[in-house]
Chain A
Amino acid sequence: MKTAMTKLFRIRELPVFLALVIVVLITGTANPEFFTLSGFQDITLGVAVVATLAVAQTLVIVMKHIDLSVGSTIGFSAYLIGDASSQGHGFWYCMGLALALGLAVGAANGFMVAYLQLPSLVVTLGTLYIVRGIFNEVAGGNTITEDMVPGPINFIGLNTFFGIPYLFIVAVVLMLIVGFIMKRIRSARDLYAIGSNLLAAELGGIPVARRVFLAFLATGAVSGLAGAVLLARFNTAAANSGNGLELSVVAACVVGGVAIAGGVGTVYGAVIGAILLQAITMALGALGIPQFWQLAVNGTLLIAAISLDRYLSTRVKPTSIMGAK
């Protein structure tokens, strides 16, 4: 029993989960409507997009990289889906287009980071703006309206399954799948090794470049496909779609225990982190705090999460070279 308890406390995701519980309780006490079904649906709907992207971003952050282009990719993809659909193309065609976009961006990022060994910050910052620029040019002033949204996507966006919004289920299913892969598939374990000690990973015979490339490719693909999620959520898309999402996604991951320093964290934590951020947003709303404080709050939370992480990691007494880092 004792070892089970100590194991429980060692779970990295515990603090963020507890934080979520606390925030939910506080908000619910201040505003009892929070605890109703519609309150639950509000949160789960609101978090779907960020949660989906956070799952993909986890792959990249555990390797000690970052992908800032996700916001541009998802926005562009949402627009493309709506646009193609309005021109009469079928659902699978639209999704194929979205996937192609995501793969293209992911491949470009992956190639530059993995094979040219360029810093992922700079590379994805560059692709962020290139994709957005192309997106804005293609979209112009157009807006995708509800009638242009493909049927299946519309359906998922509006309906629930025993009260749980389908959108949320999509995010959860993705989380479960990726979570399983990260824990149980050998080549996915390499991502953690790469983030934990790159040199040892290289010397240990892990095909680092290939793994990094594939991780960025996967992130790109998910961001592309997630355009459908974005479209389903808002039933609209325009040139500013997805703007700034990358910040929320990174914040969700870090808050959820996926350390910027790499090597640790799970998609479960990332999703909990996303839910926590969403809950705080709604809490602020419930407490009557104006919308625009939200950006400041997100930023502060990110800094707080990083600081806490750093504090916890330096508390391990450095009797060896490793602990001292």
Chain B
Amino acid sequence: MVANQSPILEMRNARKAFGGVQALNGADLTLYAGEIHALLGENGAGKSTLLKALAGVHKIDSGTITLNGKPFEQGSTRLAREQGIAVIYQEPSLFPDLTLAENVFVGRQLQSGFTVNWKAMEDEANKLFAQLGVKLDATSSARGLSIADQQIVEIAKALSTKATVIVMDEPTAALSSKEVDRLFQVARNLASQNCAVVFVSHRLDEVFALCSRITVMRDGATVGTELTKDMNESKVIQLMVGREVSELYPKLEAKIGDVVLKVESLGLAGQFTDISFEVRAGEIVGLAGLVGSGRSEIVRAIFGVDKYDKGSVTLNGKKLKPGNPSAQMVSGVALVPEDRRQQGLFMSSSINRNSAVTMLKRLSKLFIIREKSEAKLAKSWGETLSLKYATGFDPVERLSGGNQQKVVLAKWLATEPKLLIVDEPTRGIDVGTKAEVHRLLSKKAQDGVAIVIVSSELPEVMGMADRILVMREGRMVGQFDRSAATPEKIIAVATGASTS
């Protein structure tokens, strides 16, 4: 990669707004052929919107995107692909019933004359796999393929469409370390074939190992683009966060009481194994680790949405049966799930209904529920949480992300749980609301609730938790007291890097 080469892709000052939210606010990105370029930023920094613009899902409101010297035609995924941009998502979407060869060539199957030439297609696909240095059989079905292999198929597809820019969006999140190594090989391979590879990731160690340049985004804008060799982790983190860590996380001291939650040797085949820990009343325990390390699976199993097959969960001395969320709810367990749109809310339903859905038994008099009682409950919690809304009859899909999360919190806090589990509680939420949520959690701890917080945002975990448990690939690999924890130590244990 030579400095006075002209760039393959140049995005300047891109802006994009959705409703009232400014997702891109002056984003820049410059890509050269043959480089592996990291794109970093916290959740909500705008990376995903930028990628979607490149993928052709959105059109930017203002700013320019130039590809190979020509203006990039936006707004169509098909056009984006035709112009040579391919995006590999964290969870690729293949056709499970078709063969790998057909997945690579879907819609453009190789023909001889007017008919599909299966042999040629399979041979060509196998060739691409070999080119990428991977052992895959083009004639096998795509069903049951591991995520790592699915990504390879997508990359092969990109190659076959002569893509010049290949974007990988958090590709390593669900990969084992061996698969990560293989992916790095493939990425280097692509770069050597003069593609520009964009690598989006939260894992700084991977970024520093693989990428030659780094672009950091914050609040929708690009705040820095540097050569990797000119950067180190703390500089990058500072660019990403841009402010003092402690401001954001107002932790209040709480009295620690008796053991509320006791998890013993919990295991679920394929997801996690041998998980044991305790949480006391008033304590906040954080589960840290990379995405895909099994944290959400663990808390889902504790709450009962998933059924664990080994071990036990005890609440205040009483053993909880696996796989029964309604029973856990009655016993006093609450889970604010990771995906608030899919798992936490009924988007088309009103604020009142959403807030009250967990409290229906208590709201019914002689089996009858009146709308008024739901509205009353919603209103009182709305006030407690400073919810911003027009009327309680509005569907929650009209609320901002932060306010939506507040509704999810309201519905669970209303049940007065003894154990409150929050999974990524401030994902995709504006800073102001973030602080409110943290303050709320602290207050609940003071009220004697046992809290478990799962978060991929290290500063959040470190700011809120009394104890931090670190997961890696389904196992608990480390435990830190609040006073002893540092980001380096936690990341080291989470990624399996050797500690000095």
What residues make up the interface of A, taking CB atoms closer than 8 Å to B?
183-186, 189-190, 192-193, 195-197, 199-201, 203-206, 262-264, 313, 316-323, 325
Contacts and interface: CB of A to CB of B under 8 A. Distances in A.
B147 A321 contact: yes
B107 A204 contact: yes
B106 interface: yes
B147 A320 contact: yes
Given A186-B111, A313-B143, 9 more contacts: A183-B116, A185-B116, A190-B107, A193-B95, A196-B98, A316-B144, A317-B144, A317-B270, A318-B144
B64 interface: no
Contact of A192 (B97, B115, B147): B97
10 contacts: A189-B102, A193-B95, A193-B107, A201-B106, A203-B77, A203-B93, A262-B97, A316-B143, A319-B147, A323-B143
A316 B78 CA distance: 32
A277 B143 CA distance: 29
A314 to B, nearest CB: 11
Contact of A184 (B95, B116, B142, B270): B116
A91 B78 CA distance: 47
Contacts of A206: 106-107
B115 A322 contact: no
**8 nearest A-B pairs in the assembled complex, by CB-CB distance:** A263-B97, A205-B78, A323-B144, A316-B144, A184-B115, A196-B95, A196-B97, A200-B93
B367 interface: no
Contacts of B77: 203, 205
B107 A200 contact: no
Contacts of B98: 192-193, 196, 263
A210 to B, nearest CB: 13
B53 to A, nearest CB: 15
Contacts of B146: 319-320
Contacts, number: 84
Contacts of B114: 185
A201 B97 CA distance: 13
Given A319-B146, A322-B144, A186 B116 contact: yes
Interface in B75-112: 77-78, 81, 91, 93-98, 102, 106-109, 111
Contacts of A318: 144, 270
Contacts of B270: 317-319
B357 interface: no
Nearest to A313: B143
B143 A322 contact: yes
A203 B142 CA distance: 18
A192 B94 CA distance: 12
Given A192-B97, A196-B97, A321 B91 contact: yes
B58 to A, nearest CB: 13
Contacts of A195: 97
B95 A192 contact: yes
Given A193-B107, A319-B270, A320-B144, A200 B78 contact: no
B362 to A, nearest CB: 35
Contact of A199 (B93, B97, B106, B111): B93
B150 A197 contact: no
A60 to B, nearest CB: 16
| Most B CB within 10 A of own CB, among A313, A319, A320 | A320
Nearest to B142: A322
A295 B455 CA distance: 56
A264 B97 contact: yes
Interface secondary structure of B, over-half rule:
loop
Interface secondary structure of A, over-half rule:
loop
Contacts of B143: 313, 316, 322-323
Given A189-B109, A206-B107, A322 B116 contact: no
A200 B147 contact: no
B145 interface: yes
Contacts of A203: 77, 93
A246 B57 CA distance: 41
Given A190-B107, A193-B106, A320 B145 contact: yes
B478 to A, nearest CB: 25
A200 B116 contact: no
A29 B142 CA distance: 42
B144 A197 contact: no
Contacts of B78: 205
A247 B392 CA distance: 48
Contacts of A317: 144, 270
B81 A185 contact: no
A212 to B, nearest CB: 15
Interface in B194-218: none
A185 B115 contact: yes
| Most A CB within 10 A of own CB, among B98, B111, B143, B150 | B143
Nearest to B137: A3
A189 B142 CA distance: 16
A199 B92 CA distance: 12
A240 B48 CA distance: 59
A263 B108 CA distance: 18
A205 B81 contact: yes
Contacts of B142: 322
A316 B106 CA distance: 23
Interface string B142-170: 11111100100000000000000000000
A325 B77 CA distance: 26
Contacts of A193: 95, 98, 106-107
Contacts of B150: 320, 322
A190 B108 CA distance: 10
| Most A CB within 10 A of own CB, among B96, B108, B147 | B96
Contact of A200 (B81, B95, B109, B111): B95
B303 to A, nearest CB: 19
Contacts of A319: 144, 146-147, 270
Contacts of A316: 143-144
A200 B96 CA distance: 11
A26 B108 CA distance: 47
Interface string B426-461: 000000000000000000000000000000000000
Nearest to A321: B91
A267 to B, nearest CB: 16
A200 B144 contact: no
A193 B106 CA distance: 8
Contacts of A199: 93
A197 B107 contact: no
A129 B115 CA distance: 39
B94 A200 contact: yes
A299 to B, nearest CB: 26
A192 B95 CA distance: 9
A192 B97 CA distance: 8
Contacts of B94: 197, 200, 322
Nearest to A190: B107
A263 B91 CA distance: 20
Interface string B2-39: 00000000000000000000000000000000000000
A249 B26 CA distance: 59
A322 B145 contact: yes
A263 B81 CA distance: 24
A195 B97 CA distance: 9
A7 to B, nearest CB: 8
